[in-house]
Amino acid sequence: MRVPFTRPYYTGNEIVYMAEAMNNKKISGDGEFTKKVNTIIEQKYGAYKALFVTSGSAALDMAAILLDLQEGDEVIVPSYTFVSTANSIILRGAKPVFAEVNPNTMNVEPLDIQKKITSKTKAIWPVHYAGVGCDMDKIMEIANENDVWVVEDAAQGVNAKYKDKYLGTIGHIGCYSYHDTKNYTCGEGGHILINDPRLAERAEIVLEKGTDRKKFFRGEIDKYSWVDIGTSFLGSELLAAFLLAQLEQANQIQNRREYIFNKYYNAFKELEMNGIIKRPYIPEESNVNYHMFYIMLENKEHRNFLMKKLKDKGINSVFHYMPLHSSEMGVKMGYSANDLPITEEYAHRLLRMPLFVDMTDEEINYVIDKMMQISEDM
């Protein structure tokens, strides 16, 4: 048997809605389906304003523009994240200041954020790893005390909560991704969530290439013109139509992912008791979306051994991010591997297991059985 790491899931209505969008003769964006997916995010999740964009990276780029990041500004981010988180900061001329993770969750550690606040700090960008919420109470407390912005990189956190709030709606801005590796997908796409009303009007302008076009369409002005910077962030109607089918079944999709997660979690209890692996830790205040199931091995060598043995059995398990601070780009910025030893260590111990919605019980049990067999040699 061969088990891929992931496989996109289709509800069946994607093609129906996309055909409807084509029949509407409106596929360029900001049509019926764009409005529907924006409304879902605003009404279900509680965002003040949600804008559908071309990707999670685009949402981060928009956030950087809205906060007027510029040369001399610093933004505190975890090093253990995808490159888009840092790229959005660098593209505006600002500097990402990398912070340590909490090894229990791989989320940014508030105590290290506090240490790295300076007079140049303009924002904190927490990343909700694996759909597990960062310690947002503490992060917002630090932000408020130092008068800095908070942008939640919730690319992996759609439909997950921290306490009673959905991830992406707690900071001033939230960013979602619908890449085909995410729980809810349209291939490429994202949302920027504007939670601070002060940013809402400008967000519409930046979305529309720096024009006040939305005001024109609402009849608030008699013509639109170029009033600010911006670019083509707006996602197409075809992508929004595809996404609508996914969001309509968000809870069913999450329930299936939870089932697979729990099968792994319960099956691997013995391996954790024997000190071979460590299972994911979910804080009490987190209501997760089961974006991934990862395990921690004792060291990099054990991680690589297990990954190879699983591959030999046809199972595609993968590690995740290489820490940004020790990457080629990070070194150019003056960082080194010694700067964040916790991030460096745990990034090399982490291994992600296959988890996707239409994963069959046969595939799940095959992965578990092979894991148990291989563990006897570890």
Please list the active-site residues.
182
Asked if residue 153 lies in contact with residue 128, where contact means CB atoms within 8 angstroms, the answer is yes
Q: CA nearest 172: which of 201, 154, 193?
A: 193
68 φψ region: left (φ > 0), alpha (ψ -120 to 50), beta (else): left
Q: What angle do CA 296, 170, 153 make, to 5 degrees?
A: 50
